[in-house]
Structure 1
Amino acid sequence: MTDTAPDAPVILKTKITTPFPKANLVARGRLTDSLSKGINGRLTLVCAPAGFGKTTLLTQWAHNSGPTCACAWLSLDARDNDFIRFWRTLVRSLADKAGEPAGQRLTALTLSLQDISVSTFLDALLNELYELPGKMVLVLDDYHLIGDTRIHDSLAYFIEYLPSALHVLIASRSELPFSTVKWIAKREHNELHTATLQFTADETAAFYRDVHNQPLTDEQIRRLAVRTEGWVTGLQLALLSLQSGTDTARFLDEFHGDHRVVSDYLFEEVASQLPPDLYSFVLKTSVLQEMDADLCDAVTERADARNLLELAKKSNLFLLPLDERDAWFRYHHLFAGFLQELLKRKHPEEWLRLNRLASAACISRGFMNEAVEYAIAGEDYSLLASCLKAHIPAVLESGELGNLLRWFRSFPPAYAIPPALSLHYAFVLLMTGQAEQAELLLDRVEASLDAAMEQEERKELQSGLLFVRSNLMFITGIFDKWFAHIGTLLHDILPADPAFYTFNYNRSEPLVRRTPLGLKGVLSPDTERIGAMFTDLLEARGWQGSYIYLYVMQSLSEGYYEWNRLEDSRRLAVLVSRSAPARELPGLYVPMHLTQAMLYAAEGRFELAHSAVDEAFEAASGLEDSRWRQLLQAARIRLYLKEDRSADVKKALPQLGVSGKDKPGFRQEFEYVTLARALGSQRKEKEALRLLELLKPQCEREQLLSGIIEIGILQALLENQRGQRTTALRHLHEALELGSQNGYIRSFLDEGSAMETLLRAYARQYRLTPETAGQGDGLQDYVLMLLSLFMPASARRKAADPALAEELSRSEISLLRLIRQGATNKQMAEHLTLSEGTVKVYLSRLYEKLGVSSRTQALVTAQELKLLDAE
């Protein structure tokens, strides 16, 4: 637990830290030996009811396992019934023990969880784990709390393909919900069940005599072992009763029944003998899942929790430490369960009130996940709605949508969820693939718009409806309903809801059109029309700074580039570059700079192209996530390849962090395709083709059209390069079919003369000539169109020689000189006797004339055009 509000996906250290062993433990060598022998297999299951010492045993084993075996630990709770949260926390647990640089790569992998399929993520994770040196054990404690079938299925897949150096050890109260027969048959599965975990007579004697110095006879110990059936919690409870002065003979006569009967009886015995202050304290704090002194003070409405916690610890009241500072604790699940049932039964209103106090205390400290859970337990649905409203942006950012759905579904049917919150609910349904339910909820919200409603509230709801319906349209590709809806809003001025309009659509892709918002590379007249209408609508309302506006604009810019509409692409890229988010969000500024680099490279202006990449690299240098720097390094290598700078390619490749011997994962598809290009330039076609053959099915599984086409094109070029013309033309045909359906042009043109040669071979094979244009199918005309766009060498040289479209004024030449001197806007204003605002306007016009978006690029272009040579 941390006092920092979880605005980002923060992993609580207590969840991924092996608990500290309790003092006065009985050494259980027979069980720890069994665990140690089992780790050479694939899976160990420790399965028994509550109170049999599963966690204690695993803690004891983990702290004694020695330096040769690293132990990654994950303490599960009910909130981990969220696919994203479960795997993010599990991977962070592994990363914590993996060392560097493996730990950094594993942590970076979690950032792609929201953007790729389950199988692709797991394959990438397993590939990373195969590289780990040494033996590692992953402990999943309290797995019985997980009920999500997606998690069960994904964990079974994970264990199926587990590297031999990794072992999974699961502690659960119930059998695993997936089959383990195969691993049992292969002797890769170790099990410790209830009968194994029961204390033997010798261990029982050691517990009472050696550890707790309790003078019991052999017969009394035997009877206790029989009555408790070796149940360690029963032995502990019996010890507490005996230590309180209970008559041993009477106690043993009355002590019988199954575990639940025994635990209730014994907990009652223990609780009834506590001092009133301590009894009241443990009863009230039993509502807390995890606690420190401040939370306890808030719930008990006292100021002495620190002393009472210490007293509870000294009294052996099943208080378990969660951190090395002895600041955070929880009660043993059985003890907490007993107290909670007692509280609910005898004081139901107090149970609700205490949970509400806990929720309010968590809100004040920024523990919003916990605040939501306590509000649900306290049945305070107004408080729950308030918590969700405040917490939704952070949860959307973290991607833990499973928990959001569960929280929304905690409202009773009779409770009227506020319409604004219902919009968020619809958005979450949409993001989790439940488009039909989302649309039904949107219809209900729309129907709730009342003429009597406050005008501001009505407009805010209309704003949210526009946003969610727009996402529905972009994700489903169903445009008709969006047109109908948008027609009613064309003349309304709507406020922008920050919770909606600051949603980050790109956390890991080099180009926006590779994301779901960019339809993963699908291009059509509809996508352009919708994108243009949508951005026009947002512009009319002054929402040019909203993330969705900028991401759609950037996606349109990238689409125009692919369609070879370079001026349209440049115009939008410059507009995006002038926004504040485009300078802050890597998901925007990296694609924007890469688009600029591609535009410059298409004109042969490689110095400017490198400048664009370098500017993005500098902006990304301070980011914790190294993913963006890797993408930019790949872009830099692609530019070197276009320029035939083989020495620079060779020097830059090691910094890419991938190898031709890897089993490539989809998460780094852009980097591996870059590597394949580099290998091809070194005449290592076989290695390059191997990478592409492994990547292509992953792109197909992710339905990434742009990746499928690029890989197909590269396969064709590489096969042709090594003399396999028939195979090359087959790959080219597949790429052309997909390309023609989406109007792809630059993907082919940017490959240069090698693609032109191959396209001419394709045209000869299919007898395509300018005279046959319009006589065959669309594919034939498409091929002829592509061929017509390849320029002869003389024209390419002319295109590479830049010319200024519009002459610069004397003031603009002066600005260029000042830029070269490194003057600030303020210094420029003083020198030219202008206001800073006017200087900004002049700079904007200067950039537009030069076709650039920054000072660095302006200087490079001025040098190319010899604009300052007269000085």
Structure 2
Amino acid sequence: MPGRTGASPQGLIQRHDLIAALDRAAKKQVTIVSAPAGSGKTSLLRSWSEHAGRPTAYLSIRPDQYDAQLFWLALLDAVRRATGNSEPPPTAPGFNGPDAVRAELAAADAEFVLIIDDLHELSSAEAIAQLTALLRTLPTGVHAVVATRGQSTLRLQRLRLLDELAEIRGADLPFTDAETRELLATAGITLTERSVAVLRERTEGWAAGLRLAILSLAGHPDPERFVAEFSGTDRTVAEYLLTEMLERQPAEVQRLLLRTSVLDRVNGELADLLTGTQGSERILLALEDANAFVVSLDHERTWFRYHHLFRDLLRLELRRTDDVHQLHRVAASWFEEHGDVAESTRQLQAAGDWTEAAELLNDHALGLTLDGQAATVAALLRSFPSGGGVRGLALAHAVAELNRGRPDEAVAHLEVARADLTTAPADRRHRVRTTIAALDLLAARLRGNFDGVIERVEALPSATSMSTADVVLSNDARATALLNLGVSAAWSLRLAESEKYLLEGAGTAREIGRPYLEVACRAHLGFAATRDSLIRVRRYCEDAIEQATRHGWASEPVIAPAYITLAGALSWTGDFDQAEGWLGRARDAVSAGGEPGTQLLLHLASATLSAGRGRYEDALTALVAATEVRMTGRHALMSRILGWMVEMRVRLGQLDKARATLAAVDERLVPTAEIRNAVAVLRLAEQRPDAARAELRPVLAGTAPRNPRLSLIEAYLLDAQASLALGDGDAARTATERALHLAEPDRIILPFVMTDSAPLLAGLPSHSTTHAALMTEIIDATSADPVGLVDALSRTELRVLRYLPTNLTRPEIAAKLSVSLNTVNTHVRHIYTKLGATDRSTAVQRARELRLLSAGRT
């Protein structure tokens, strides 16, 4: 039996049986409403949301939604509006939509409803998979309703098995006789019971058909005869009703409906432009209130769409009366002026203006990709005529191929773009040349050809030499070029150049409102700073991670370089547990088969951590994996990778394999500090300390190429071991002290661990070193006995002493050492007592006088 019905706001009727069904369904986790177009899904859900009496987020997916990010941004916005959160969502690629929406839902009231209408418009497989995962794991108290045409693309079988999935299908939605009568009465139409039954039977209760009939019945001189004649195929009936409706509408409404039907979505301003009149928004609002096939798309009811069947029929009628192509051109101009390049391109394509559409997409493909619309770029490219009939799309194709991780294919398109540049209009050449340069850099970087990038790039075009239009269109390319140039310089170990380019790229990205690009630049800055300061490395990495987390990109590949670099820096300082955590996050963020430079860096960081923990077999496995990364050029860190491979083989007793690895090293790498150190390790294992010292002389003299502090510290320690083997204790102590001096500012421990230097430290008299506190930490990391260290202070007191020259507070020192504040306070009191000090500065001064701390330690 049908339930009682009543009028709702906006002229809908309350379908109480269906509303009751939705109420029952809401006791489960998810409800799917699947039915054909025009079945009344949207009207039902709106009525139910008004009836529900609980916070409700409602999203109607816009037509042809290809991009996952834009879908999640819209859904997050809808949820935030429902929860009263006014914070605008981020607008850049890499936005972690599912996590952001889940967090917002979890923070909502205990009872919350999420309604997603028109799921069939979502054409992104990625978004469908992510939405499926979200619906399977909704926070407690949240119920979701998803409406779609036909069968749902969501894979929710698990919820069905758990009896947490409710379904309302097309067969449940047809109007009953009573509901048809109520609908007619709401519209002020009176029919006999028989005519109501006939109308309901002929439409089979189809909501859209009933509303079409009601629009034609309004004011009809003989409604009974109209119902009797209401028959035919769907198309025949729809065309007849369309004609009847249009003839009965005022001329201005007819003009608006027809001329705006060229669009998938329309607002008042755009409708005014297409009709040449004013007041279109008022008409659209009135049409929606009358349920005349007009549906608002946003909370403020500023954007509208027509029922798809209605829109298609309007377009059919429009072709008989108007210049459709000109309407598309007018719409294209409006969308371009308002920054919607994708929709402007679609309108130009619909107008058949292929050359202009190609030029627009070519100019903005990079910017669209940086806005998270890479899938839209690909879809727009597919919409051009096939067979190469449209020229001028080479840059857009190159962007699409690079986004797919196919640099070789992208390079082929860039060659076409370079050839086309000679015939391009003079006013476009500057920005096209800048874009080609930026994409050249990205392609080379993705191929791992870092030296080639540096060699090919001359000067990037200066913004001061460009027109205002060129500046606007070239800024994306320029910032992207600076990013790729900075990354390539970093991985060629041109670290000062890298830092310069990356800082400039980050600043440019911030100026033009590209936070994703800014984070990408900052994620690599830590590696660029490894040349001189681990403190700056950590600051750069932590700043990038904080910014990425704020934008919801903490799990995205864009921030992986910061995770990897931070893990490496922590391994250098012996903070192996922390390094393990950051390395785990890096592995989660780096996709399989991703950028070769990042893959190589990840393997090297894994090897560094394993070597620091004495897991030489694991370290060797990671190093071998690094050598197998497919790259066109050679990463400048290859000398370190190959050198450490030799060292790991020596430590594993594989001397013959170590010699074979050395024999295969590229002759250009043989003179580097890393390879010389590896040879010295092998010579020491061969009981040839004099040969080891000879190999180390260029490294210690600073003449060996690529001589960062890590390699120099290791070289001093190896020289000390060789000196000790030769019976020269004084030279061994001097070399050890120099290694400690280099390690002290950044507390570098890794070289001491990798070279098993505990015996060297044990033989260093406590009164002759200024690095007793650092030696304590090294001894701890090597698990050796603290022989020869200062007796006055305990090992734990020496660890606290190391932090007294810094600006860290006692609670912060406690956190660094993973001990309680009371423990730190106790150690500080003991330090003061043993050093005869009454305050922190006096204790530091006294420790330096006793050579327990380096004078340069800050």
Output the TM-score relative to the length of structure 1: 0.62
Superposition pairs for residues 251-650 of structure 1, below 5 Å? 251-303=226-278, 305=280, 309=284, 312=287, 317-323=292-298, 327-344=302-319, 346-347=320-321, 350-385=323-358, 387-388=360-361, 391-392=364-365, 394-413=367-386, 417-419=390-392, 421-435=393-407, 437-445=409-417, 467-477=438-448, 502-503=475-476, 546-548=478-480, 550-559=482-491, 568-570=494-496, 572-573=498-499, 581=508, 586-587=518-519, 590=522, 594-595=526-527, 598-601=530-533, 627-628=547-548
The change in CA–CA distance for 1:433 and 1:298 in structure 2 (over 3 A counts) is same
Residue 85 of structure 1 corresponds to: 70
The equivalent of 1:207 in structure 2 is 183
Q: CA deviation at 1:400?
A: 0.6
Judge conservation of contact 2:716–2:739 (CA < 8 Å) in 1: no
The CA distance in 2 between the partners of 1:626 and 1:274, in whole Å, is 58
Q: Aligned to 2:741, which of 774, 785, 798?
A: 798
* d(CA) in 1 for partners of 2:84, 2:561: 26
2:621 to 734, 752, 757: 734
Q: Please report how far the alpha carbon of residue 284 of structure 1 lies from its aligned counterpart in structure 2 after TM superposition.
A: 2.0
Closer/same/farther in 2, CA of residues 78 and 789 from structure 1, 3 Å limit:
farther
Question: Structure 1 residues 456-465 or 223-232, which shifts more?
Answer: 456-465
Matched, 1:192 2:168: yes
SS at match of 1:235: helix
Letter in 2 for 1:395: L
Instruction: For residue 302 of structure 1, report the CA deviation from its aligned partner.
Output: 2.9
Matched residues in 1 for 2:485 and 2:191: separation? Answer: 79
Alignment deviations for residues 226-260 of structure 1 (CA, whole Å, 9 cap, x no partner)? 22211122222222233213313211211124544
- Per-residue displacement from partner, 1:449-501 (whole Å, max 9, x unpaired)? 77x88889888867655554443333234799x89x999x9999999976886
Determine if contact 1:82/1:403 at 8 Å carries over to the other structure.
yes
Distance in 1 separating the partners of 2:272 and 2:312: 21
Note if 1:113 corresponds to 2:94. Answer: yes
Tell me: CA distance 1:433–1:83, structure 2 relative to 1, closer, same or farther (3 Å): farther
For 1:772 and 1:325, the matched residues in 2 are separated by 73
Residue aligned with 1:701, SS: coil
Aligned CA distance change for structure 1 residues 449 and 702 (closer, same or farther; 3 Å):
closer
User: Would you say 1:26 and 2:13 are equivalent positions?
Assistant: yes
Q: Secondary structure at the match of 1:80?
A: coil
In 2: Cα distance, 1:147 partner to 1:578 partner: 37
Distance 1:82 1:126, change over 3 A: closer
Larger radius of gyration: 2
Q: Is this contact kept in 2: 1:291–1:328, CA < 8 A?
A: yes
Letter in 2 for 1:73: Y
- For 1:52, the equivalent position in structure 2 comes to 39
Q: Deviations over 1:663-717 (max 9, x none)?
A: x887876888899999999999999968866764654636543334435544665
Aligned with 2:198 (options 223, 229, 246): 223
Counterpart code for 2:486:
Q
CA distance in 2, matches of 1:550, 1:447: 24
Contact kept? 1:769, 1:784, Cα under 8 Å: no
When residues 790 and 358 of structure 1 are mapped into structure 2, their CA distance, relative to the original with a 3 A threshold, is same
Measured in 2, the distance between the counterparts of 1:593 and 1:671 equals 8
Aligned mates of 1:448, 1:55 — CA distance in 2: 49
Task: Name the CA shift for 1:44/1:673 in 2 (closer, same or farther; >3 Å).
Answer: farther
In the aligned structure 2, how far is the partner of 1:665 from the partner of 1:310? 41
- How does 1:856-867 map onto structure 2 within 5 Å? none
Deviations 1:752-777 (A, max 9, x none): xxxx9x99998554276999797788
Query: What amino acid is aligned across from residue 188 of structure 1 in structure 2?
Result: E
SS of 2:18's equivalent in the other structure is: helix
Counterpart-to-counterpart distance in 2, 1:629 and 1:144: 32
TM-score, length-scaled by structure 2: 0.63
Distance 2:570 2:82 in 1: 34
Q: In the aligned structure 1, how far is the partner of 2:385 from the partner of 2:657? A: 69
Say whether the 8 Å CA contact 1:665–1:695 is kept in structure 2.
Answer: no
Change in CA separation of 1:371 and 1:696 when aligned onto 2, cut-off 3 Å: closer
**Counterpart-to-counterpart distance in 1, 2:219 and 2:578:** 74
Q: Residue 600 of structure 1: CA displacement?
A: 3.9
- Which one scores higher on RCO, CA 8 angstroms, separation ≥ 6? 1
- Mean Cα displacement is larger for which, 130-139 or 166-175? 130-139
Tell me what 1:237 maps to: 212
Which residue identity lines up with residue 550 of structure 1 in the other structure?
L
Q: 2:69 touches 2:93 (CA, 8 Å); kept in 1?
A: no
Give the equivalent residue in structure 1 for 2:821: none
Q: Could you say what secondary structure the match of 2:166 adopts? A: strand
Distance in 2 between residues matched to 1:558 and 1:167, nearest whole Å? 49
- String of CA shifts for 1:602-623, please: whole Å, max 9, x gaps: 5xxx5x778x759x96xx9xxx
One-letter amino acid of the counterpart of residue 337, structure 1: D
What is the CA–CA distance in structure 2 between the aligned matches of 1:680 and 1:317, rounded to whole Å?
A: 67
Which residue matches 1:146?
A: 122
Q: Which runs of 5+ in 2 are unaligned?
A: 1-7, 512-516, 629-634, 666-674, 683-710, 718-734, 746-858
Aligned-CA RMSD value: 5.4
Amino acid at match of 1:378: A
Say if 1:502 and 1:801 are closer, same or farther in 2 by CA, change over 3 A. same
Q: Could you tell me how far apart the structure 2 residues matched to 1:165 and 1:217 are? A: 47
Distance 1:192 1:130, change over 3 A: closer
SS in 2 for 1:49: coil
